[in-house]
């Protein structure tokens, strides 16, 4: 299966990042805690190699707590600040604000040593589509300063937002990279919705998801959710979901598209449990 989605506005976004990187002191990179490697744009490491970095492992409430700890340690070992965050829970806002302040501390102290007080820290927030970046910004602003939605690629242009703590934040649209060399990573992006469902064959994606869950030893999460048997092969699971839910077309064929939407949406909403699809030790890229 060949998976690629790189609309024209993403090329423009990469140009925008390159043009504005000199204006900022710190880069806040939002990634999906369920797929921390796959949701991390590999172009960012070269683009931001000279900048202080804060990694926000967003949606950690949907991911495996034990594996979250592994990813925290992994990214800290690279010299980056890390925070686990749930952008849909405003009660966690102080934790994020504290993480930004801590990541900026060295920069503030450097300004103070030069006699520069109350200098505004400029931060850029980046991430691939649909990792919850805009919802995170709205929480920081405590108002609807950034458009949000559950469709990847909704933020179209850059905007500066002033935050408490004397921080100016540059928001940027979500950006993928032109070619997915890592096929496993590309599939992970489809599972979480980082690539628009409209450009995918969801029936095949759902089957790949079942295969992934079997491979990880997590298939019982599907069987228990829908109260079905596994069968002899991965496709049997989709068939059994359809039978249980009555997803049968008038000609008595199985409505695999409806099954695919149900299964993937339930995973994305955390209805299959707290699941992380990759660990630092089993990923191709970092």
Is 86 labeled as ligand-binding?
A: yes
Comparing CA positions, the residue from 135, 241, 261, 154 lying closest to residue 198 is: 261
Is 134 labeled as ligand-binding?
A: yes
Is 240 labeled as ligand-binding?
A: no
Is 168 labeled as ligand-binding?
A: no
Place of tokens 């469709």: 151
Is 174 labeled as ligand-binding?
A: yes
Q: How far apart are CA 270 and CA 209, in angstroms?
A: 14
Query: What is the longest distance spanned by two Cα atoms in the chain?
Result: 77
Is 132 labeled as ligand-binding?
A: yes
Q: How far apart are CA 259 and CA 237, in angstroms?
A: 10
Is 133 labeled as ligand-binding?
A: yes
* Count of other CB atoms within 10 angstroms of residue 99: 19
Place of tokens 């850059």: 158
Q: How far apart are CA 286 and CA 237, in angstroms?
A: 32
> What is the H or E stretch that residue 224 is in?
helix 220-226
Is 66 labeled as ligand-binding?
A: no
Q: How far apart are CA 160 and CA 207, in angstroms?
A: 42
Query: Would you state the torsion angle of the CA atoms of residues 102, 104, 105, 111, taken in this order, to the nearest 10 degrees?
Result: -170
How many helical (H) and strand (E) elements, i.e. helices and strands, does the chain have? 10, 6
Is 89 labeled as ligand-binding?
A: no
Q: How far apart are CA 129 and CA 134, in angstroms?
A: 10
Is 61 labeled as ligand-binding?
A: yes
Are 30 and 56 contacting, i.e. CB atoms less than 8 angstroms apart?
yes
Is 236 labeled as ligand-binding?
A: no
CA dihedral sign, ordered 224, 84, 197, 1: negative
Is 282 labeled as ligand-binding?
A: no
User: Which residue positions form the known binding site?
Assistant: 58-61, 86-87, 130-135, 174
Known binding site for GTP: residues? 58-61, 86-87, 130-135, 174
């Amino acid at each position: 299966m060949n998976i690629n989605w790189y609309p024209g506005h993403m090329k423009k976004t990469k140009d925008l990042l390159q043009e504005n990187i000199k204006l900022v002191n710190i880069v806040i990179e939002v990634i999906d805690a369920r797929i921390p490697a796959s949701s991390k744009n590999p172009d960012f490491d070269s683009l931001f190699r000279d900048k202080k970095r804060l990694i926000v492992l967003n949606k950690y409430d949907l991911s495996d707590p034990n594996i979250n700890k592994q990813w925290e340690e992994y990214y800290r070992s690279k010299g980056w600040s890390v925070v686990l965050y749930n952008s849909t829970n405003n009660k966690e806002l102080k934790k994020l604000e504290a993480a930004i302040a801590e990541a900026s501390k060295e920069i503030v102290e450097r300004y103070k040593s030069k006699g520069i007080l109350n200098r505004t820290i400029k931060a850029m927030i980046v991430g691939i589509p649909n990792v919850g970046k805009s919802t995170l910004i709205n929480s920081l602003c405590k108002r609807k300063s950034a458009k949000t939605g559950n469709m990847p690629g909704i933020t179209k242009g850059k905007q500066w937002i002033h935050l408490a703590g004397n921080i100016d934040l540059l928001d940027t649209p979500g950006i993928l990279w032109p070619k997915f060399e890592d096929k496993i990573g590309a599939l992970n992006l489809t599972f979480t919705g980082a690539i628009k469902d409209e450009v995918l064959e969801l029936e095949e994606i759902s089957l790949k998801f079942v295969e992934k869950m079997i491979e990880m030893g997590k298939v019982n999460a599907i069987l228990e959710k829908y109260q079905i048997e596994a069968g002899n092969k991965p496709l049997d699971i989709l068939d059994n979901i359809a039978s249980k839910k009555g997803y049968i077309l008038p000609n008595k064929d199985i409505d695999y598209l409806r099954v695919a939407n149900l299964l993937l949406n339930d995973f994305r909403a955390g209805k299959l449990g707290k699941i992380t699809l990759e660990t630092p030790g089993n990923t191709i890229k970092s």
